[in-house]
Structure 1
């Protein structure tokens, strides 16, 4: 058993000190918003965006691993591992990790998705070296002790229980299962009570060793930073951990391939004694690399992306049938989802489903009016810019772009793509996507007669 007091000394070969490759991906304006990438000889990529006008910096490390990389027996391992990397390294205990960032008023967290995991810290620009040292230490030197695995098991089971208490969250997991079935994309990111109880320390440790190689990682930093300084500090941290010894290593490429979703007309009902019925009505969408994603974004905004959207107006404003109603899209490497969510009184579920289905069918056959499309383009453009107003959002953008696309797109180019969407583009996507037969997921206390009628919504 490894103890926290043990320490290995890593030696760096002369080859590992080879010159790194640095590129300017986005030049920015007057040095503001410049995005650079450096690839180290060990296959680690470092991307930064410089914003001299702020006093903060956000540092993150993205791992090319998510719940879709798990076998059925390992369901939940990626998220379990996310927790365990905060539990201690050769240099720091769990308390040392949290106290170091707390002591400078920073914030540190992580999140796991179906195709990636991210660990990050947001601090004052002067404290960036500390954030780099702490986060890099977590990613390269985690001990994954058996006692920590056992202790954290209870925490994760409580997190699953907390999620289960929120049917508005659970219904989205149910919809993924409805669409993808018993596949990695259809299983919950958190895992299940059974899989979490069955996971062992050795299984999690092997998962860590396999997926946290530097070639699977992207370092991202944004704020009042200097690219060369960040590269130097990250390189030093990884070399001290002995993580950059493979001089022939190259970064993994973004996920690709094609997964066809043929699910249609499926209904999944989870009967629970809740105050509301929670529904998701949806169908296959587009992969995140599909050129039609820009038109889909405009369509989604017009349909259910705000208070002026069709679904909000029809379901909430005109009829008062729901407090929360919206549409959303999820794009993966090779497929996607489009869904409409609503929470309503169980007695009104069929009225809500009928209105939502009628609107989807109407837009599929008639399209949207030009003024709706123009308004949606304006809303989407504004929200895109406003969503990038802090260093955390900038770090997320450049880190995810490098990991998922292998490239960077400027905000101006993003806005140009949105602005170039035509009414014909939106109508074509609406006909293609909304013309499909939907599937339905429901959580709520439905009586037998109500449950029997759910098939009407997907007929």
Structure 2
């Protein structure tokens, strides 16, 4: 093994990188990053096209394992909307080998925790356990992913549970504001659909549709397994291979993983506008923004810096101007989200309904000021420090490292280690931040307001 390996590493789907070795269970294996005595990142492509990425952390007594399917709510066809989220629930409800209680008990008995997350472009089933319980965790989650029975009675029960989950979100006006903003700013794109589905979609989706979605996407070539903590890469590969083989999934030696999503940016064609959603609440919830960069855009580090300065903390421009100087809101911040071919940037504030238009105008003025005047060297230095600390602290958790591997494999196709990520943050310039801010400020602006209003005219906007 070399003393160290540079760690902005492309991840070809075949896995034939330098430093690799092949074995029947480990498949096409390669060293991605690391040095002796420290964390080691390795990647293998197993028979069937299953990808396994691990980060071995010698001092850890725990490990987090995640089974990823690169399919999310954007991938649902007509009649299947909500199926991805439905499957997230149903996979915990029993397999051919285990009941729902067996699955829950397996983790409770070792003091572990398991869960799942559905996103717009992926679904992940994960668990954090003691290192000695990792074989159990792999076996149970592999069984869930490969052998779910999708029992009709359980499906109807979970239909009610998911409807309650949606109702809970709809009772939160801030959550509604964010969801409605995404629907408007990405209108016409599959990413605009809510991850959990709508009540109408959940009520109407059939077991056959959910079963078809499962059979179509839950297969070896779509599967990515990532793990971080106290583990051995070859052992993880062996356990994954055995568990999937036992389930009867076809593991052809020459099979390749599916291609990653196209990273070509699409034109959302956003026209902006003001969208008001009535709620009889005491506070107006405002989200304003525009389409933005994709997940693999080279400017994603510039976006991180800009967002930190503009609305990423208590010393940010939005917080200082809207809350500290004027006392107009308790919570205000900016945010961004990026996907394979689209993304968006936004600002949020919750305020008294009587101050809604004032806050909207201030948010827009602050963005325009950033675009026109740029940032100072002191602001840049502070943002770099803020982001650097956040990156390092987040990666002290095995779950964060497991998720980082999943995103690298499924989204960017590149693994970036901590030192390289910090270097890229430090390379961001004042000019780059202003250029990106100008692009955002010049884009059509979507404004979403959830509060005691029935039309934009009540806020002084034309109908």
Report if TM-score (shorter chain) is over 0.5.
yes
Change (3 A) 1:31 1:45: farther
Measure, in 2, the Cα distance between the counterparts of 1:288 and 1:351: 33
Structure 1 residue 436, shift from structure 2 partner: 1.8
Residues 106-255 of structure 1: pairs in structure 2 closer than 5 A: 106-255=112-261
Q: Deviation at 1:227?
A: 0.5
Q: Does 1:418 align with 2:425?
A: yes
Query: Is residue 2:294 matched to residue 1:287?
Result: yes
CA contact (8 A) 1:278 1:442 kept: yes
Q: How many Å separate the matches in 2 of 1:136 and 1:51?
A: 23
Alignment partner of 1:378 is 2:385:
yes
- For the residues of structure 1 that align with 2:73 and 2:456, how far apart are their CA atoms? 37
Which one of the candidate residues 96, 99, 103 is aligned to 1:97?
103
Task: Determine helix, strand or coil for the equivalent of 2:158.
Answer: helix
SS at match of 1:274: coil
State the Cα deviation string for residues 207-258 of structure 1 (Å, max 9, x = none): 0011111111100010010111111111100000111333332111221133
Distance 1:166 1:29 in 2: 47
Equivalent-residue separation in structure 1 for 2:82 and 2:276 (angstroms)? 23
Alignment partners' CA distance in 1, 2:444 and 2:189: 21
Q: In the alignment, which residue of structure 2 is the partner of 1:3?
A: none
Residue 434 and residue 189 in structure 1: after superposition, are their counterparts in 2 closer, same or farther (change >3 A)? same
**Given that residues 62 and 400 in structure 1 are in contact (C-alpha distance below 8 angstroms), is that contact kept between their aligned partners in structure 2?**
no
Alpha-carbon distance, 1:72 to partner: 4.1
Pairing partner for 1:436 from 443, 447, 453: 443
For the aligned residue pairs, the C-alpha RMSD in angstroms reads 1.6
- 1:126-156: CA deviations, max 9, x gaps? 1111111111110001011111111110000
The CA deviation at 1:454 is 4.0
1-structure distance, mates of 2:389, 2:290: 27
Give how far 1:277 is off: 0.7
**2:270 is matched with which residue?**
263
Give secondary structure in 2 for the equivalent of 1:323.
strand
Given the two structures, how large is their TM-score scaled by the length of structure 1? 0.93
**Which sections of structure 2, spanning at least 5 residues, go unmatched?**
1-22
Moved over 4 A (4+): 16-19, 447-450
Q: CA deviation at 1:425?
A: 1.2
Q: Cα distance, 1:182 vs. partner?
A: 4.2
The alignment of Structure 1 onto Structure 2 pairs a total of residues equal to: 440
**CA distance, structure 1, for counterparts of residue 246 and residue 178 of structure 2:** 42
TM normalised by structure 2 equals 0.92
Distance 2:462 2:438 in 1: 22
Give 3-state SS (helix, strand or coil) of 2:89's partner. helix
- Residues 276 and 454 of structure 2 are in contact (CA less than 8 Å); yes or no, is this contact kept in structure 1? no
Task: Name the stretch that deviates more: 65-74 or 98-107.
Answer: 65-74
Give the deviation of 1:435 after TM superposition: 2.3
- Determine if contact 1:72/1:184 at 8 Å carries over to the other structure: no
Is 1:398 aligned to residue 405 of structure 2? yes
